[in-house]
Amino acid sequence: MSGYDAIVNPAVGKHAPPVGPVAVMAACEPDLKALSQLLGYRPENRTRLLISRLYSDPQKLGMPALSGPMIGAPYAAMVLESLIIRGARRILFIGWCGALVPDLQIGDLILPDAALVGEGTSLNYPPAAPRTFPSADIMRDAQNVLAAEDIQVRQGTIWTTDAAFRETRDQVKFYRARGADAVDMETSALFAVAAFRRVKLAAVLVVSDSLAGESWQPGFRSPRFRSGRKAAHYLVNTLCRKLHPPK
């Protein structure tokens, strides 16, 4: 790929544990902790990955690896690159997002089918498009799981931004007019990296707050938000088994 060669490339350290083909990326600490327990990891399975944690078992590469926490597109892209170089080929990302439309409620789940690039990381991954997309294969698997398990999830478009404290009313109107249902800080970059590296990735987001009204509505302490996170954990765990079924 002439012209796209990087000076510094992701590498695997001499003692870095490998990961299997399936990996989960959890943006937030509470989800990382809950998923480590749900996936059956023990403290001895934990190592460092950059400034995050990595749960993996070299003796059981059929288990999905788990990494996090991570906030923001640049750092999330670094974690994803590190997982890919270690062997991950099918990746699920779980994170939180802010609603931009009034019919999205705290605790609702979103399965993004497109992301509008409002961050700078994606621009470094050709073709540097204004929209990025998840893996069609994993989206089909997710839709099958949702139908079988009767989990209520909305498909929609995410706007990804670098600046959590610069989400202005004009920006909300601009991206909402282009079809954005919610805003986060990682998804569009992760889609771009996955497409560039030719791996498969999809995201599951939980609505944690809302920017759809006249004032910001936080929902981080809401029982409905906790319930939505539990549903997202169940979906991710079920999808992992579908992406890498036990032998």
Neighbouring C-beta atoms of residue 30, cutoff 10 Å: 14
- Establish if 12 belongs to a structural domain: no
| 105, amino acid identity | Q
Give the per-residue pLDDT at 2: 46
Residue 176 domain-assigned (yes or no): yes
Identify whether 149 is part of a domain. yes
Average of pLDDT values for 143-164? Answer: 92
**Calpha distance 94→202 (Å, rounded):** 9
Q: Is the pLDDT of residue 130 over 70?
A: yes
Please report whether residue 194 resides in a domain. yes
| Residue environment code for 181-193, b if the CB has 16+ CB neighbours within 10 A, otherwise e | bbbbbbbbbbbbb
Residue 154, domain CATH: 3.40.50.1580
Q: Is the pLDDT of residue 107 over 50?
A: yes
Evaluate whether residue 235 is within a structural domain.
yes
Question: Could you say which DSSP state residue 162 is in?
Answer: S
In a domain, 13, yes or no: no
The parent domain of residue 217 ranges over 22-243
pLDDT band at residue 1 using 50, 70 and 90 as cut-offs: very low
Count of domains for the chain: 1
Average pLDDT over the chain, rounded to whole?
A: 93
Cα separation, 79 vs 166, in Å, equals: 25
Residue 227 lies in a domain: yes
pLDDT digits (tens, 9 = 90+) for 199-209: 999 999 999 99
Q: Is 214 domain-assigned?
A: yes
Q: Where are the beta strands (DSSP E) in the chain?
A: 22-26, 46-49, 52-55, 65-68, 90-99, 109-118, 131-132, 154-161, 180-184, 200-210, 217-218
pLDDT > 90: percent of the chain: 80
Task: Average the pLDDT over 145-162 and give the result.
Answer: 92
